[in-house]
Amino acid sequence: MSAETRRPTGCGVETLPISARAAAALLLAASLTLLAGCSTAGTRTSAGAAGTPGTPAPAPPPAVRLLDGVAVQPRSFDPSTGGTVQVSYTLAGDARVTVSIYGPNRELVARPVADEPRAAGDHREAWDGRDATGAIVPDEAYYPVVEAASVDGVDVYDPVATSGGERVNPSDIHFKAREGLISYVLPEPSRVLVRAGLDQGPMLATIVNWELRGAGLSTERWSGRDQQGLRSFALDPDALVIVQAYALPDNSAISFGNRQATYRQRYLAWGAEQPTRPLPARDPGLEAIESPHWRQPVHLDKDPRIVLSFPEAAEPQPDAPEEAVRLVGDRAIVHVEVPDPVTRRYLRDQRFELVAFVDDQRVDEAEQAHLPFNWSWELSGLEPGEHWLTVNLVTFRQLVGTASRRVDVVAEQAEHGR
């Protein structure tokens, strides 16, 4: 079939183009259990998930039912142009109300209503998309926590107690290789990962790195090349595209339009002083459909950027990364590093392995590896000439970093004869 034929599967995985055989599960044959992150039970079936960083803090049920009908509109907005979010709710009786806005790491962002009296009935509170300092929040997903207190007790609406983090199966996955378009449909607002690689071979590119997408049809553009942009492989008959997702908490509002600071920059600047909300208790049955990424800090839980270098070989000039690295002799030292220090510290707290592929065939692995890592690559079995080296860093929390280099293997005797 042509490269534009496509077929979704029940786990958000698609072969590109379609072949007669079914695609093997995900990309790393020896790391299937690491990469199995999509649900086989269908899309979201019930609410559930405890929060992000922190320790669960079970709480007793409220003494009285005061709150009902909590809703957020709109579900996306641009605070840089004056956009606001309306938090509506209904009170069964007079109460003192607090409305707090939290970020994806359960950090307190703003408190538009702080212990103010409200009469029984319907209410609507506005949030202007700014934090406690008055700065416009970074582009991200934010959700409200509403507390109502009366002489009879306290009622708390926290959407993280009953929603968010459920694995979501994107449907109608299509890829048009020649046009460079990947499309899929989400049943609800989600955080999405799109990767590409080769069946029974390496992961070669992360196209969407756990980014926010709304419900409905999403379309992504991809060049068809690997992470470094060195190699086009979308038309390879073994090419795969993988789409995974997990749900946002109910009543999340996605902000956009902030061109001054990313969420990662702002969160790291806030530091440990930012107040966070303890994780609420949740039904243990709901944990079974929870993504392993849900409890991780979203500013760090991304496929990492890794870099390969050859300390004993002459590297190409920085403006010519597509040139092959010339390797002479029976062995070469390959240096594997994660250049970002924050990501590197995060990975050091996790277990991960490094898997090496030569010309897309697995040749070696280092279990429970560390960073930086020096790999002694045996060259004696390779034919002289150009080859592709790819290294995948695979964590036990299902993050995958990838880097590829073109190398030119030169027989030592041929080098001496020059």
Is the same domain home to 241 and 257?
no
User: Which residues of the chain carry a pLDDT beneath 50?
Assistant: 1-54, 61-62, 414-417
- Note whether 170 and 155 are same-domain residues: no
Q: Is residue 173 part of a domain?
A: yes
CATH code at position 203: 2.60.40
Whole-number pLDDT of residue 3: 35
If asked whether residues 203 and 319 sit together in one domain, one would say: no
One domain for residues 125 and 57: yes
17 with 128, same domain: the answer is: no
CA count, 13 A, side-chain hemisphere, 307: 11
pLDDT the model gives residue 285 = 75
Question: Are 135 and 270 part of one and the same domain?
Answer: yes
Residue 63 has what pLDDT?
57
| Domain shared by 141 and 268, yes or no | yes
- The pLDDT, as a whole number, for residue 70 is 97
Residues 176 and 30 in one domain: yes
Query: What is residue 287's predicted lDDT score, i.e. its pLDDT?
Result: 76
- pLDDT of 108 reads 95
Is 198 a domain residue?
Answer: yes
For position 413, what pLDDT does the model report? 53
Query: What pTM does this model have?
Result: 0.82
Residue 265 lies in a domain: yes
Q: Cα–Cα distance between 296 and 52 in angstroms, integer?
A: 6
159 within a domain of the structure (yes/no): yes
Residue 4 within a domain: no
Residue 295: inside a domain: no
pLDDT in tens, 338-370: 999 999 999 988 889 999 999 999 999 998 888
Q: Is residue 97 part of a domain?
A: yes
d(C-alpha 283, C-alpha 106), whole Å: 19
In a shared domain, residues 225 and 280: no
For the record, the structure tokens of 248 come out as 């946002």
- Give pLDDT, residue 45: 26
One domain for residues 202 and 258: no
pLDDT of residue 7: 32
My answer on whether 203 and 262 are in the same domain is no
pLDDT at residue 125, rounded to an integer: 98
Is 1 inside a domain boundary?
no
Number of domains within the chain: 3
Q: In the Cβ-directed half-sphere of 12, how many Cα atoms lie within 13 Å?
A: 28
> Is 379 in the same domain as 411?
yes
Q: Report pLDDT digits (tens) over 211-226.
A: 999 999 999 999 999 9
Q: In a 3-state reduction of DSSP, which class is residue 191?
A: strand
Q: Which CATH number do you get for residue 151?
A: 2.60.40.4070
In this structure, what CATH number is given to the domain that contains residue 374? 2.60.40.10
Output the pLDDT for position 19.
Answer: 30
Other Cβ atoms less than 10 A from the Cβ of 239: the count is: 23
Q: What is the pLDDT of residue 316?
A: 83
Strand ranges inside 107-266, DSSP E: 108-118, 121-127, 141-150, 153-157, 167-168, 171-176, 181-186, 190-198, 203-213, 216-221, 239-247, 253-255
My answer on whether omega of the bond before 372 falls inside 30° of 0, hence cis, is yes
- Which residues constitute the domain of residue 94? 48-164+249-285
